[in-house]
Amino acid sequence: MKFVIAPDSFKNCMTAREAAEAIRAGLARVFPDADYVMVPMADGGEGTVQSLVDATGGTLRYADVLDPLQRPTRASYGMLGGSGADGSVADGSGESQTAVIEMAAASGIHFVDEHTKNPLVTTTYGIGELIRHALDDGARTIILGVGGSATNDGGAGMAEALGARFLDAGGNPIPRGGGFLDRLATIDVSGLDPRLSETRLLIASDVTNPLVGPTGASAVFGPQKGATPEMVRQLDANLSHYAAVIKAQLGIDVAHTPGAGGAGGLGAGLLAFTNSTMRSGVKIVAETVRLAERAVGADYCFTGEGGIDFQTQYGKTPMGVAEAVHAGNPDIRVVAFAGYVGDGIEVLHDLGIDAVFGIVPGAMALDRALADGPANLARTAENVGRLIRVALR
């Protein structure tokens, strides 16, 4: 028997690697001699760096950067082992390395609180610093997970950290933050890091919002970052002006591009100032860890995450895992585990997930369920394994 084990993290309970180990522990009680292929997964959000580092045998790196309020902080990113998303070897021996960065590591919402969050002044400068550190490490493919941001600056801070200059009518640098983009008159890209032109940047995001307008970055995501209705109007107008200057001076139209509004407009900045492509996060991860290839010859794939319901079909990790392993092995059967099983999971059965199992044995307090998560997951996996063994008789 060959089993592929490819779960996401169970939030606040287990990392993807810990979840994979728990599933294997349960199955091994029934199939001690099976071939286990361990592939920790993620969808581009929180935990993507750790999952890809674990899945590829890579390393975590650390860098001193600025947080969204321009305070010094220490942030991590990953340099991957094995093969990168473009097939390049990322083993530390050459220049074709692949880095993975979570936007939230430097510019996330967790850096601010109810008293300090202010999307008029928060900046993505720190994420630009992380990109620069990855370039210094030899990365020429960068996977950037966007999400969980505290910012609304259209990625201007990120671009500034990489050498771009944003100047007012007097030729002076404008302050950092989305609240000052209305002062922008000139974008000087002559000092932009030349390594960006030879670096492939993959934006891992399922957000399709444009930069501006009623479904744009400011209107949809601004309030959760502390924007009042008046601030939303100001930020949207400022991003519209920013997009107009980019189009006029750089010839790139980012105002209404799907996904440009992700992470407070960081998507727009990446599209304007880097050699970037926006794709589904879980598909990028699946390609990076060669999940389809590793599923060849397997009998079952086990996946999962903290919660599964009808929304799982829209780019969540278990759905992406099912699609990837079926691409490599049409006959593989896919079983998903979840701490919470919600409504509408029957739609998943027609999309490649053969069965979904909740791991919580009964009513219990949340802290107890989280503490017992690994044991509950291992026990559930063992019971599924016993069903498989019965079916083999």
Tell whether 136 is covered by a domain.
Answer: yes
The last residue of one of the domains, among 281, 301, 317, is 281
pLDDT at 261 over 80: yes
Tell me: do 134 and 243 sit in the same domain: yes
Q: Which pLDDT score is estimated for 314?
A: 84
Tell me: do 17 and 87 sit in the same domain: no
Tell me: do 273 and 327 sit in the same domain: no
Tell whether 384 is covered by a domain.
Answer: yes
For residue 345, what are its two tokens? 């999971």
Question: Coil, helix or strand for 65?
Answer: strand
Tell whether 87 is covered by a domain.
Answer: yes
Tell me: do 229 and 113 sit in the same domain: yes
Angle at 105 (CA atoms; ends 104, 108), nearest 5 degrees: 35
Tell me: do 108 and 248 sit in the same domain: yes
Contacts of 60 (CB under 8 A, 6+ apart): 49, 50, 53, 76, 77, 78
In the predicted model, what is the mean pLDDT of residues 251-256?
96
Tell me: do 159 and 302 sit in the same domain: no
Question: Coil, helix or strand for 272?
Answer: helix
Tell me: do 186 and 261 sit in the same domain: yes
Tell me: do 175 and 224 sit in the same domain: yes
Tell whether 286 is covered by a domain.
Answer: no
Tell whether 173 is covered by a domain.
Answer: yes
For residue 46, what are its two tokens? 């929180």
Q: Tell me the per-residue pLDDT of 186-234, one tens digit each, with 9 for 90 and over.
A: 999 999 999 999 999 999 987 889 999 999 999 999 999 999 999 999 9
**Helix extents (H) in 188-344:** 229-250, 262-273, 281-288, 291-294, 317-328
pLDDT at 140 over 90: yes
Residue-number span of the structural domain to which 227 is assigned: 48-281
Q: Which pLDDT score is estimated for 85?
A: 41
| Interaxial angle between packed helices 16-28 and 373-392, expressed in degrees from 0 to 180 and rounded to the nearest 10 | 40
Tell me: do 177 and 257 sit in the same domain: yes
Number of domains in the chain: 2
In the predicted model, what is the mean pLDDT of residues 124-150?
95
CATH number at residue 253: 3.90.1510.10
Tell whether 223 is covered by a domain.
Answer: yes
Q: Tell me the per-residue pLDDT of 292-330, one tens digit each, with 9 for 90 and over.
A: 999 999 999 999 999 999 989 988 999 999 999 999 999
This prediction has a pTM of 0.85
pLDDT at 155 over 70: yes
* Distance of alpha carbon 151 from alpha carbon 76, whole angstroms: 19
Tell me: do 216 and 300 sit in the same domain: no
CATH number at residue 13: 3.40.50.10350
Q: Tell me the per-residue pLDDT of 326-377, one tens digit each, with 9 for 90 and over.
A: 999 999 999 999 999 999 999 999 999 999 999 999 888 999 989 999 999 9
In the predicted model, what is the mean pLDDT of residues 100-108?
95
Tell whether 243 is covered by a domain.
Answer: yes
In terms of DSSP bridges, do strands 72-79 and 59-66 run parallel, antiparallel, or are they unpaired? antiparallel
Tell whether 147 is covered by a domain.
Answer: yes
Give me the residue label for tokens 């996401």.
8
The last residue of one of the domains, among 230, 257, 281, is 281
pLDDT at 393 over 80: yes
The last residue of one of the domains, among 250, 281, 312, is 281
In the predicted model, what is the mean pLDDT of residues 155-170?
98
Tell me: do 72 and 33 sit in the same domain: no
Tell me: do 18 and 37 sit in the same domain: yes
